[in-house]
A = this chain, B = another copy of it.
Amino acid sequence: MVSRIGKEIEISPVELASQLAKKAKINLASGSPDPKVILISEIREAYNEVLEDVKSLFYPGAGGQEELKKEIEEHYLQFLGLSKGEDEIVITSGAQHAMELLGKYFLENDVIAVENPTFIETFNAIKLRSSVVIPIDLDDKGIKVDQLEEFLKLVKINLLYVIPNCHNPAGVNLDEERRKYLVELAERYDFYILEDDPYRPIAGCVPKPIKYFDKTGRVIYISSFSKILAPGLRIGFILANKEIAEKISLLEQLDFSTSTVNQYVVARLIRKGIVTRRMKELYEYYSRKMKVLKDSLTDQGLTKFNDPKCGFFLLLDLDKDSWKVFNNAIQLGLSFVPAKPFFLRGGDTMARLSITMSNEEEIKEGVSILKKAIQMT
């Protein structure tokens, strides 16, 4: 008596690991941004300013507040390597909400392709509306476009889901030539690309978005203010061709979930230059922490990982069942995320390590606990 989605939904493995991880002293599990770099005073000030006007408490318009769309268009897109052009911006309640809207729009038991591994939580919104999911392997240059093309010769897909920068969980950036080639493939084999790019604002110097190379409206770009500002605001946006953007705006009538006041707050913070000022600072901040993680792993002889260029995550091959190592690590006071659920095939020995919640000392200590946990397993 319930829908397919109602039947198939289950607790996210990331959420599950997070719950188990609460007991642990050292947290290399959470994907939340480091609380120490959330600009709480500036955000509070922005609330004070926008709450001078009661319109900030009215119903949001479906598709988003014009003020925020204008700020993004005029003072932010260029920092992401994009311009609005003929496309339209749709404000969403974060990138996850964008994925849900896009899944709802595009899919009804269709065939899709995703990176293997991919971020299971965002992916769920399209997985639960697909009949077949084709996993395409990643290497240190991102999704293997040759492998994708071999599949495309055999099977028609509707959507490809890609995380181009600071990949979650793999840590890699997608190579520029591959970005261009994905757009070619999308045109040749008639599919759409969902480019989920929440880390770009803190990614440092990375190639232009896939969307940048798209001249025919095949790429839907998804951005978020969760990493650069704060996840608790639940504000992100889509950049898509006019037809799709209009439909997604209409679909927002169904959930109407995007807080008006939070949209004004983000608009205000962009206008003040706070968002763009933070981009370099946060890239450098997280890079320092990532270097500590990489150095600590290397020091401990744990070297089977892709070298993350940016973002929060490193994917480590433990060479042992990662759930077994996880259980030992939790006993020793360390949490991480066993990465098997991010993989459609393989991944049994993989662990996702995050640098956000622990400081440098804790990261070092966490890695030495991890080493012990591996030895125990």
Contact of A106 among B2, B9, B226 (CB under 8 A): B2
A150 CB to nearest B CB, Å: 23
Q: Is A301 an interface residue (CB 8 A)?
A: no
A100 CB to nearest B CB, Å: 4
Q: Which of chain A's residues 191-234 have a Cβ closer than 8 Å to chain B? A: 226, 230-234
Contact of A108 among B4, B96, B231 (CB under 8 A): B4
Contact check, A96 vs B254: say whether CB atoms are below 8 A apart: yes
Contact check, A54 vs B32: say whether CB atoms are below 8 A apart: no
Q: Assuming the A-B contacts A9-B253, A251-B6, are A231 and B58 also in contact, with contact meaning beta carbons closer than 8 angstroms in the complex?
A: yes
A377 CB to nearest B CB, Å: 30
Contact check, A262 vs B260: say whether CB atoms are below 8 A apart: no
**Number of residues in A with C-beta < 8 Å to the partner?**
66
Contact check, A94 vs B231: say whether CB atoms are below 8 A apart: no
The 8 A CB mask of A37-65 against B (1 = contact, 0 = none) is: 01010011001100100111111101000
A12 to B251, CA, bound (A): 10
Mark A residues whose CB is within 8 Å of B.
1-6, 9-12, 15, 32, 35, 38, 40, 43-44, 47-48, 51, 54-60, 62, 93-94, 96-97, 99-101, 103-108, 121, 124-125, 128-129, 158, 226, 230-234, 247, 250-251, 253-262
Besides A2-B106, A5-B251, A101-B255, 11 more A-B contacts (Cβ < 8 Å) are A2-B105, A32-B59, A35-B57, A57-B230, A93-B259, A94-B256, A100-B255, A125-B254, A128-B254, A232-B261, A255-B257
